Amino acid sequence: MERLQKYMAHSGVASRRRSEEIIAEGRVRVNGKVVTGMGFKVDPGTDKVEVDGKVISPEQKVYYLLHKPVGCISTTDDPRGRKTVLDYIPESSPRVYPVGRLDYDTSGLLLITNDGQLTNLLTHPAHEIDKTYMTEIEGKLTSRDRNRFCEGIELEDGETAPAELEEIYVSDAKSIFLLTIHEGRNRQVRRMCGQLGHNVISLKRIGLAFLKLGELDEGEFRHLKEREVQKLKQLGSER
Ligand code: URA
């Protein structure tokens, strides 16, 4: 049970104090009956609360796992009119934001949510959340390259933390490997590859912490399961 004015504040009606005034003005109905007294409590799960005849409810937290396609940007709007990741989220969704970003040319796993606290936890550098990228580069991945990835590569904003690498395909013309990094610097994988003299052909994030992209097609999303949300929250607070 929650105090009515608190429920109203959580629903974005007004501050708690202002909500008390709105209640006193007789503008609030609970299950069809006007409530004017203070101290009234509502059950957020079952009670219907109306303010000036409009049903209100606290903002639900939503968590989407999107397979971001190549060719859209990871912000909520673009002055240049390009597609954004929000174009793939239902219009009926509460206002949401991407957790971190993927480049325009990068595809793969992107979390999108209105849970600012979780976003902060997951994007804070101190939490070192693993991110795994399917990386396709021009040229041969040499053993020297492998060692550099795993030991650290000097970039203009400092040396990268050791990464993990799993080879998938190597030829003189191109190489494909999984690269797991623990940081989230801007264009980090592309810059690491560039530093070793390799152009990136394609880059796809297939893992974030324990989450996997799985079978989702480009442009498709799924909702995170409650236990996945809880596990993510623990990840952030464990360190
Ligand atoms: N590293 C990159 O270079 N680009 C991304 O989008 C993500 C990681």
| Residue 227: Cβ within 10 Å count | 8
Cα(26) to centroid of ligand 1, in Å? 54
Cα(167) to centroid of ligand 1, in Å? 18
Superfamily of domain 130-208: Alpha-L RNA-binding motif (3.30.70.1560)
Report the distance separating Cα 25 and Cα 106, nearest Å. 53
Cα(205) to centroid of ligand 1, in Å? 8
pLDDT at 56: 86
| Cα 168 off chain centre by | 28
Architecture of domain 2-55: Roll (3.10)
- Which of 47, 52, 77, 103 is the catalytic position? 103
Q: pLDDT tens track of the chain, all 239 residues?
A: 899 998 887 776 777 888 999 999 999 999 999 999 999 999 987 899 999 998 888 777 889 999 999 999 998 888 888 999 999 998 777 788 999 999 999 999 999 998 988 998 999 888 889 999 999 999 999 999 999 999 999 999 999 999 999 999 999 999 999 999 999 899 999 999 999 999 999 999 999 999 999 999 999 999 999 999 999 999 866 65
Atom of ligand 1 nearest to the CA of 105: 6
- The boundaries of every CATH 3.10.290.10 domain in the chain are 2-55
Atom of ligand 1 nearest to the CA of 190: 3
Q: Is 105 a catalytic residue?
A: no
Contacts of 5 (CB under 8 A, 6+ apart): 16, 17, 19, 20, 23, 38
- The boundaries of every CATH 3.30.70.580 domain in the chain are 63-125+214-238
DSSP-derived pairing of the beta strands 63-68 and 221-223:
antiparallel
Architecture of domain 63-125+214-238: 2-Layer Sandwich (3.30)
| Residue 163: Cβ within 10 Å count | 23
Residue length, the chain? Answer: 239
